[in-house]
Amino acid sequence: MKVDKITISKPLVSEAAIKEVVRVLKSGHISQGEVVGELEKQFARYCGVKYAVAVNSGTAAIHCVLYGVDIKPGDEVITSPFTFVATANPILALGGKVVFADINEIDFCLDPSEVKRKLTNKTKAIFPVDLYGQPADYKHLNLRKGIKIVADACQAIGGSLDGKKVGSLADVSAFSLYATKNIMSAEGGVVTTDSKEIVGRCMMFRNHGQDPQRRYSYVDFGLNYRMTDVLAAIALPQVGRIDKITRERNLRAKRYTKNLSGLPGIILPVIRSNAIHCFHQYTIRVTDKAPISRDQLVIALNKANVFPGIYYPLPLHLHPHFMKMGYKEGDFPVAERIAKEVLSLPVHPAVTLKQIDFVSKVIKVACGEKGKN
Ligand SMILES: *Cc1c(COP(=O)(O)O)cnc(C)c1O
């Protein structure tokens, strides 16, 4: 049987968005302007917070939120080693110290009891990552008064915890609008917060540290992290569809879970009972009890024209960049083991249920279950 290539992501740009981009391009105002303002308004409303600030990448959003809570040289920020490098580098850019804590194997997010062990009198912020789109355990991460909770929500727009949307769960949250994310603007990012002080700092940081009232008056360090109206026009129509996108991804996730449950040594994603998972990724674990290794399974899927993803093949602390800071193998055993097991299957809205059944069948056959082609 000839099958279409099934890839891990596919950016969808509606005709409405294309029209809006063309309108902006012809309008004469293409850099940060009204469309960015409207995106911020709608994004804040969606997340249920007072303020949103749009910037030109998720990395910029993370840099802004950490500056927003005043991370300074010597401050310690506790975060997950099982994430993309953009979580950690902005901490270093501000002179802060990256303090990793291990994750739990249920939701792949920071384990509050591990975070607790890393607290010192220099801890300035706890920085969980809502990995794959499930909110971290915010309820138990609020460990000490005075320590800010900052969220790397780059993968988690549409998720929620106890009925509260991601973006409103921390003191300040960073989102990415990169092309592969649940909603996107090719490149882009958004900061959300209820704090007037933090939003003021983020807006200033986005614009060279300039006094918002007085151009060419520089109050503090800052960079150019502004988003353009051209790219905001791509994202804007998607904001109204976030819940629909989340439902479509959950429908596909459910189908995988139904198809794949009971396979020996394969662990399927767990959704915490008080959470809505936005399934940026549907990530299974291929443990050593499975009849096939994770890497062999990737080969079997590739042969069937299916291209899953591995996020992430190695925890941050085992890369040279972080080993230079003294981290070593064995420091975070859960993250180290999980990195060898994870496999993310295509779950985006452009994948059909039929294709999901096909991917599931390939996995079942590879695991030794009998099946017709
Ligand atoms: C995508 C992502 C980022 C960075 O976002 P960019 O828009 O690519 O700069 C940071 N953290 C996590 C967890 C991400 O998935």
The sign of the dihedral angle between the CA atoms of 37, 38, 39, 45 is positive
Cβ–ligand 1 contact at 155 (below 6 Å): yes
Distance (Å, whole) CA 294 – CA 113? 29
Between the CA of 59 and the centroid of ligand 1 the distance, in Å, is 6
State the pTM of this model: 0.97
Between the CA of 214 and the centroid of ligand 1 the distance, in Å, is 32
Give start and end residues of each alpha helix (H) in 207-288.
Answer: 229-239, 242-260
Q: DSSP secondary-structure letter at 241?
A: T
Between the CA of 154 and the centroid of ligand 1 the distance, in Å, is 5
Burial of 121 (0-12, 13-18, 19+ CB in 10 A): exposed
Q: How many CB atoms lie within 10 A of CB 217?
A: 10
Give start and end residues of each alpha helix (H) in the chain.
Answer: 15-27, 34-47, 58-68, 89-93, 112-118, 196-206, 229-239, 242-260, 294-303, 320-323, 333-341, 353-366
Between the CA of 303 and the centroid of ligand 1 the distance, in Å, is 29
The amino acid present at 222, given as its one-letter code, is G
Between the CA of 256 and the centroid of ligand 1 the distance, in Å, is 25
Between the CA of 86 and the centroid of ligand 1 the distance, in Å, is 6
Helix (H, G, I), strand (E, B), or coil: what is residue 230?
helix
Q: Are 309 and 347 in contact (CB under 8 A)?
A: no
Distance (Å, whole) CA 343 – CA 315? 14
Q: Give the count of alpha carbons within 13 A of 297, CB side only.
A: 31
Q: How many CB atoms lie within 10 A of CB 248?
A: 18
Cβ–ligand 1 contact at 59 (below 6 Å): yes
Cβ–ligand 1 contact at 231 (below 6 Å): no
- Taking alpha carbons only, the member of 16, 69, 61, 22 closest to residue 43 is 61
Q: How many Å separate Cα 163 from the centre of its chain?
A: 19
**Nearest alpha carbon, ligand 1 atom 2:** 154
Which atom of ligand 1 lies nearest, measured to the CA of 180?
Answer: 1
Which atom of ligand 1 lies nearest, measured to the CA of 280?
Answer: 15
The sign of the dihedral angle between the CA atoms of 298, 254, 6, 157 is negative
Structure tokens at 271: 């959704």
- Taking alpha carbons only, the member of 297, 305, 289 closest to residue 358 is 305
Cβ–ligand 1 contact at 176 (below 6 Å): yes
- Taking alpha carbons only, the member of 274, 278, 342, 344 closest to residue 308 is 344
**pLDDT for residue 369:** 80
**pLDDT for residue 373:** 45
**Nearest alpha carbon, ligand 1 atom 7:** 58
**pLDDT mean for each 10 residues of the chain (373 residues):** 83 93 96 97 98 98 98 98 98 98 97 98 98 97 96 98 98 98 98 98 98 95 98 97 98 98 97 97 98 97 98 98 98 98 98 98 91 47
Give start and end residues of each alpha helix (H) in 51-148.
Answer: 58-68, 89-93, 112-118
